[in-house]
Structure formats: structure tokens, C-alpha cells
Amino acid sequence: MSKQQLPIEPVGGCCVPIMDAALDNAAAAEGATVFKALADPVRLRLMSIIASAGGEICVCDVTPQFDVSGPTISHHLKVLREAGLVDCERRGTWVYYWPLPERLTWLSTLLSVPTPSAV
């Protein structure tokens, strides 16, 4: 059972489920920032499209899936990027985005509920 490591640093050490221990102010502030990034319908779907793309996806393939303007998509992508949820790279004319699973894992763990079989 290889435990996948968390190479991304800026994420505060956290990983204790909230059902196990209450968050302090700092952790709550950091967590709220990341949740805020997912707290918009466009952004959440955007995140899911990038996450489910199986690798990376071009902005040009993402934008047509929404009813909002290009600049708005660009703005939302920036929010996701600043939340550490995705990263991107320009290659030629196009820009490609991919998910950063560490952040997702962190949030998932934070919200996880102990299974009944557990102590």
C-alpha cells in the first residue's frame, strides 16, 4: 500500500478529518479559501471537467462547454489555480490545464467520515 506523498508545500500540514479535531483559525481560513474556489457552479463544473479529463485539457476545449464569456472562464481558471487545485502550461497558441490531486486529497480527507467498522 504505497502511500502517495504530498509534494506540494504551500498546503498547511493538515490532514486530520474535521470529525476528529476542530480546525484552528489558520487552518479554517486556508480551508475556506479552497472551498470558496469550489463554491461556484461554473467553477465546480470547470474543476470536474479538468479533473475528469484524464490528464490535461485545452482551454479551447473547455470554454465552449459553458454559457459564459471567455474572460469569465479565464477568471475562474485563475481562481482554481490560485487555490492550488489546478496548474497550467502554455504550449504554442494554446494553454493546457490539469488537476493537482494533492489538494483534492486534502479536502477529501478533511471531510472524510470514519467508517462504522472503525473504532
Partner DNA sequence: CTGCTGAATTGATGATCATCTAATCAACGA
Partner DNA sequence: TCGTTGATTAGATGATCATCAATTCAGCAG
| Residue 107 contacts which entry, DNA, its own copies, none (Cβ below 5-8 A, type-dependent) | its own copies
Gap between the Cα atoms of 81 and 90, Å rounded: 14
CB of 94 to its own copies, least distance (A): 20
Cα angle value 117/28/114 (rounded, 5°): 0
With both helix axes pointing from N to C terminus, report the angle between 70-82 and 41-51 in degrees, rounded to the nearest 10. 70
Which residues inside 41-70 make contact with its own copies, applying CB under 8 A?
Answer: 41-45, 47-49, 51-52
* Contact window for DNA (CB under 7 A) among 6-14, 18-26, 63-71, 105-113: 63-71
CB of 92 to its own copies, least distance (A): 25
Binding mask 76-105 for DNA (x = CB under 7 A): xxxx--------x-x-xxxx----------
Name which of 15 and 29 has its Cβ closer to DNA: 29
Main-chain phi, psi angles of 50, to 5 degrees: -70, -40
Cell of 49: 471537467
> How far is the CA of 34 from the CAs of 13, 80, 98, 114, in angstroms?
15, 8, 17, 23
| Residue 76 contacts which entry, DNA, its own copies, none (Cβ below 5-8 A, type-dependent) | DNA
Cell of 4: 502517495
Q: Which residues bind DNA (CB under 7 A)?
A: 4, 36, 39-40, 42-43, 58-60, 63, 67-79, 88, 90, 92-95
